[in-house]
Amino acid sequence: MTDGEGALRAVLAGAAAGIERAAADLALAEEPSRLVAALEAEPERG
Amino acid sequence: MAWKDLCHVPGLPTSCGTKTREYFVDVRECEAVRRLRQAGAVGLGKLNMTELALGPFGDNPHHGDAQNPWRTGCAAGGSSSGGGVAVAAGLVLGAVGSDTGGSIRLPAACCGIVGLKPTYGRVSRAGAMPLSWSLDHLGPMARTVADAALMLGAMAGHDPADATSSRRPVPDYAGALARGVAGLRLGLPENYYFDGVSPEVAAAVREAASVIARLGAVVTEIRLPDPQPLTDVASLITWCESSAVHARIVRERPHELGSVVRARLEPGFHVSAYDYLQAARIRARLTREFVREVFAEVDGLLTPVIPEPAPALDQVTAGAPGEVVLRMARFARLTRPLNGLGLPALSVPCGFTASGLPQALQIVGRPFDEATVLRVGHAYEQAAGFWARRPPAAPSPDVRAR
């Protein structure tokens, strides 16, 4: 592994750790496919 | 008009910025391009881009670096670099770009034009090369907000060929522009968006907010839910999905890729399914929370697009691939969270630095409320007048492809 790859792996590990913290209290029912539904939940504006 | 070279258009090769002339093929024409052509647009051809849309500076080792029309040697922004340059230089009236972490807004900001990343689901991605299907957006690049509104009106709308395409009706974006900004509540973020931003950029964005306030909007400071988790989510998802999409060239022909693009694609092969799925799960919740908290207080946000004016290309692309990738992440840190959120975000010119480089304002709105985002952009643009300035007509003699 080069120095450059090591730096990127470190960034990746940091991102994964951040997600782990943010997901700590994620609801059991949360699915990965709900983004468009979340966006469409906002009422339409004229 | 012209199209980023990741849009499949019958009869034209689609290199996606790679060495391979026909890297991407599809059974159907890029739907956004097809709709624009159906609406009467005349296509002039394809536009240069960062290799595989992976990079915010506009460099390309195979087709030559896109040159910033305002200053040779400065980054044009990427990855829709050719769109930024061609529109700014007056070669085309508009361009179709793609935006996975800022790739429409960054070149728009660097080149002094208008660029819109619509809401996720607003414009079909069918017929365009995917980089990260969870974060990819197609959108217009144009000289004025009115032109961008006209283009979006033609490009937007449901398409069964894109599973994420929304069925929401398409409003008359251009017709709503003249409604002005009186009474709109707009927020200047207290956190994240001005952290580490150059004083000149911050001052330009705050001055633009003052102009918008004088037009009748109520501009207040607002504390946002921390965008950092969204950046983590968007980065990790992009790493995984781009590695999956482009695995074949990475595995079979890595020597054909630039060293930085290879470095960008490699980490995605080492992410666990657990991390990827947690990122995808947390994203919807973060979006719901952000929308609920922020848009209860304001109708839109005003932020910088780039943390510094267009940097010198040879400086930001120098060094080991790992260093360059980290520099890329920093340059896109103000745009990438909006890809995670899927919210509409517009880049509008908001002046020039003391050395003559373009400055840019980012206007963010509610889901599917491009109409308000465009209204604010149009009102500001017409009041400020920066849109009328043009870069030097003739390129400097040292412009050349590698």
pLDDT reported for residue A38: 86
Residue predicted with more confidence, A20 or B305: B305
Q: What does the pLDDT read at residue B402?
A: 44
Higher pLDDT, A31 or B362: B362
Q: Which of A9, A32, A39 is the closest to B277 by Cβ?
A: A32
Torsion sign over Cα B50, B55, B57, B61: negative
**Helix B273-294 vs helix B228-245: angle between axes, to the nearest 10 degrees?**
140
pLDDT score recorded for residue B401: 45
**Mean pLDDT taken over chain B:** 95
- What's residue B131's pLDDT? 96
Q: Give B287's Cβ-side CA count (13 Å radius).
A: 33
What mean pLDDT do residues B136-146 have?
98
Nearest to B287 among A4, A7, A35 (CB): A35
pLDDT at B141 over 70: yes
Domain span at A27: 3-40
Spacing of C-alpha B80 from chain mean position? 8
Query: Using an 8 Å Cβ cutoff, are B237 and B339 in contact?
Result: no
- What is the domain extent for residue B84? 2-388
Distance of CA B255 to the CA centre of its chain: 28
**Contact indicator for B280, B234 with CB cutoff of 8 Å:** no
In this predicted model, which residue has the larger pLDDT, B201 or B263?
B201
State the best of A1, A2, A8 to mutate against chain B, taking most chain B CBs within 10 Å: A8
Residue A32: per-residue pLDDT: 80
Please indicate whether, in this complex, the C-beta atoms of B366 and A34 are within 8 angstroms of each other. no
A5 contacts chain B (CB < 8 A): yes
Residue B4 has pLDDT above 50, yes or no: yes
CB contacts of B293 in chain A (<8 Å) are none
- The pLDDT score that the predictor gives to residue B223 is 98
Contact B363, B346 (CB under 8 A): yes
Q: What is the ipTM of this complex?
A: 0.86
A45: in domain: no
Stretch among A16-20, B154-158, B204-208 having the lowest mean pLDDT: A16-20
Both tokens assigned to B341: 């959120």
- Report CA-CA distances (Å) from B57 to B68, B136, B236: 10, 18, 20
Asked whether the predicted pLDDT for residue B252 surpasses 60, the reply is yes
pLDDT in tens, B42-67: 999 999 999 999 999 999 999 999 99
Output the six-digit token pair for B373: 């985002």
The number of domains in chain A is 1
Residue B254 CB: number of other CB atoms within 10 A?
13
Total domains in the fold of chain B: 1
Q: Is residue B400 part of a domain?
A: no
- Across B211-240, b (16+ Cβ under 10 Å) vs e yields bbbebebebeebebbebebbbbbbbbbbbb
Crossing angle for the helix pair A3-22 and B321-331, nearest 10 degrees? 40
How many degrees, rounded to 5, is the angle at CA B391 between CA B390 and CA B395? 145
Q: Is A13 on the interface with B (CB under 8 A)?
A: no
CA separation for the pair B291, B302 (Å, rounded): 15
Q: Which of B5, B55, B18, B54 is nearest to B313 (CA)?
A: B55
Tens digit of each residue's pLDDT (9 = 90 or more) over B15-37: 999 999 999 999 999 999 999 99
Q: Please, which pLDDT band fits residue A3 given cuts at 50, 70 and 90?
A: low
Q: Return the minimum-mean-pLDDT range out of A1-5, B185-189, B240-244, B249-253.
A: A1-5
Give B181 or B387, the one with higher predicted confidence.
Answer: B181
Question: Per the domain annotation, does B393 fall within a domain?
Answer: no
Q: Which of A36, A39, A45 to probe the B interface (max B CBs under 10 A)? A: A39
Task: Give yes or no: B79 in active site.
Answer: yes
CA distance B113 to B358: 9
Is B235's Cβ below 8 Å from some Cβ in A? yes
Mark yes or no for CB contact B284/A37 under 8 Å.
yes
H/E stretch holding B361 reads strand B358-365
Count Cβ neighbours within 10 Å for each residue of B341-370 and write b for 16 or more, e otherwise: bbbbbbbbbbbbbeeebbbbbbbbbbbbbb
Three-state DSSP class for B327?
A: helix
In this prediction, residues B281-295 reach a mean pLDDT of: 94
Active-site residue, B124 included: no
Residue B96: phi, psi to the nearest 5? -95, 125
Q: pLDDT tens-digit profile of B60-112?
A: 999 999 999 999 999 999 999 999 999 999 999 999 999 999 999 999 999 99
- CB-based contact B116:B139 (threshold 8 Å): yes
Q: Report yes or no on A13 lying in a domain.
A: yes
| Catalytic residue check, B347 | no
How many CB atoms sit inside 10 A of residue B180's CB? Answer: 15
What is the model's pLDDT at position B107? 98
- How many Å apart are CA B10 and CA B27, to the nearest integer? 9
Confidence band, pLDDT 50/70/90 cuts, at residue B236: very high
Nearest chain A Cα distance for residue B117, angstroms: 15
For residue B273, the chain A residue with the least C-alpha distance is A16
pLDDT in tens, B296-333: 999 999 999 999 999 999 999 999 988 898 899 999 99
Q: Output the domain CATH number for residue B150.
A: 3.90.1300.10
- Residue B218 in 3-state DSSP? strand
Using alpha carbons, select from B379, B358, B307 the residue that is nearest to residue B102: B307
> What one-letter code names the amino acid at B394?
A
**Structural domain includes residue B263:** yes
DSSP string, B236-281: HHHHHHHHHHTHHHHHH-GGGS-HHHHHHHGGGGG--HHHHHHHHH
For residues B280 and B238, what is the distance between their CA atoms, to the nearest angstrom?
A: 11
pLDDT of residue A28: 85
Q: What is the pLDDT of residues B341-399, one digit of tens each?
A: 999 999 999 999 999 999 999 999 999 999 999 999 999 999 999 999 999 854 554 55
pLDDT, position B394:
47
Q: What is the pLDDT of residue A1?
A: 56
